[in-house]
Chains A and B, each alone.
Chain A
Amino acid sequence: NAGVTQTPKFRVLKTGQSMTLLCAQDMNHEYMYWYRQDPGMGLRLIHYSVGEGTTAKGEVPDGYNVSRLKKQNFLLGLESAAPSQTSVYFCASSYQLGGAIYEQYFGPGTRLTVT
């Protein structure tokens, strides 16, 4: 049982290049999320999905797009990378555990540097 996996683990991009980060989960979770983590800022939600074929904006969506074509996969795209997008990106998935309590499971992260 792999849980949540992310590819790639590391990437260096030049300004203006594009790339896609892939997140996959094998726990049959309905909800999936993309976060970025920067020093002193904590984790901030970029986009999320409540089910296959649906996506929604989080706290810091600008410069990113997402797709959830299959329940187990959640893709994060950067169309034109900027140095401000240098960060560690975490994907997470979750399920409903009675009422409003949700535990999120995180992938190992992708370290992205934009030069």
Chain B
Amino acid sequence: RKEVEQDPGPFNVPEGATVAFNCTYSNSASQSFFWYRQDCRKEPKLLMSVYSSGNEDGRFTAQLNRASQYISLLIRDSKLSDSATYLCVVNMRNAGGTSYGKLTFGQGTILTVHP
């Protein structure tokens, strides 16, 4: 089983649609959770961190369910510029209890927003 699993999609949605991405992680000791965005042939960039209480940034809402080891990202009122690959990312502690900021990436979910 992969440590971080995402539905690879692709998701094709019209402008204005609401779309949700899900992600599961296998290590219950995981500490920190993120969504990164990667445009075609570009580097990943942090979209938002994910907190236990859930958090919102404009049209984007992220939620974490530690009991189910599940993370989600909701995008409302999709824009053409939202077309990208969305990476679910987890910071896991190693056996010694440290992580040194090492991240484990899901394979990404491709989103295409069309007119």
Contacts and interface: CB of A to CB of B under 8 A. Distances in A.
Contacts of A74: none
A43 B31 contact: no
Contact of A106 (B31, B45, B107): B45
A41 B102 contact: no
Contacts of A94: 101
A50 B46 contact: no
Contacts, number: 59
A58 B102 contact: yes
Q: How large is the interface on B (under 10, 10 to 19, 20 to 34, 35 or more residues)?
A: 20 to 34
A100 B100 contact: no
Given A56-B100, A90-B43, 19 more contacts: A42-B4, A45-B102, A45-B104, A48-B102, A50-B100, A58-B102, A90-B44, A96-B101, A99-B31, A101-B31, A101-B91, A102-B99, A102-B103, A103-B46, A103-B49, A104-B46, A106-B45, A108-B43, A109-B41
Interface of B: 4, 8, 31-32, 34, 41-46, 49, 87, 91, 93, 99-108
Interface of A: 31, 33, 40-45, 48, 50, 56, 58, 90, 94, 96, 99-104, 106-109
